[in-house]
Amino acid sequence: MDEDFDVHFYPCCENYCRDWHETNGGEYPPSDHSPMCENFELKEYDRFDLNGTFVIDSVGAFTEFLTDPEYEGGIVTTIKLTEDQFEKLPEFEGF
């Protein structure tokens, strides 16, 4: 393998037209891969919303929140992101 090859550069994705639906209107970071790319793979994550703030983690991570009175009113939804989109999310600051 060429030592100058950057594994984070995906030339196949540069040629595809991209739009905001990939990021849910800018709510999530863009993926390194275009949806048309063979390396584009969506995975399921859970999103916990409470009082206008949200946090995203692996599926099932918020099960205990649903019974905790401190998080009453919180909503868990399953979303799909690529792994690199998940990794680019900002650190959670708290509710």
| pLDDT tens-place string over residues 37-76 | 777 889 999 999 999 889 999 999 999 888 899 999 999 9
Does 93 reside within a domain?
no
Residue 82 lies in a domain: yes
Amino acid at 68: D
Give the number of domains in the chain: 1
**From the CB of residue 55, how many other CB atoms can be counted at a distance below 10 Å?**
19
Query: Is 72 among the domain residues?
Result: yes
pLDDT band at 6 (very low <50, low <70, confident <90, very high): very low
Section 83-93 average pLDDT = 83
Domain that holds residue 67: 11-88
Task: Report the alpha-carbon distance of residue 65 to residue 18 in Å, rounded.
Answer: 36
Q: Is 28 contained in some domain?
A: yes
Instruction: Return the pLDDT at 37.
Output: 77
Asked whether residue 60 is domain-assigned, the answer is yes
**44 within domain boundaries:** yes
- The strand order across the sheet containing 75-82 reads 53-58, 42-50, 75-82
- Tell me whether residue 3 is in a domain: no
Q: What is the mean pLDDT of the chain?
A: 77
Q: Is residue 95 part of a domain?
A: no
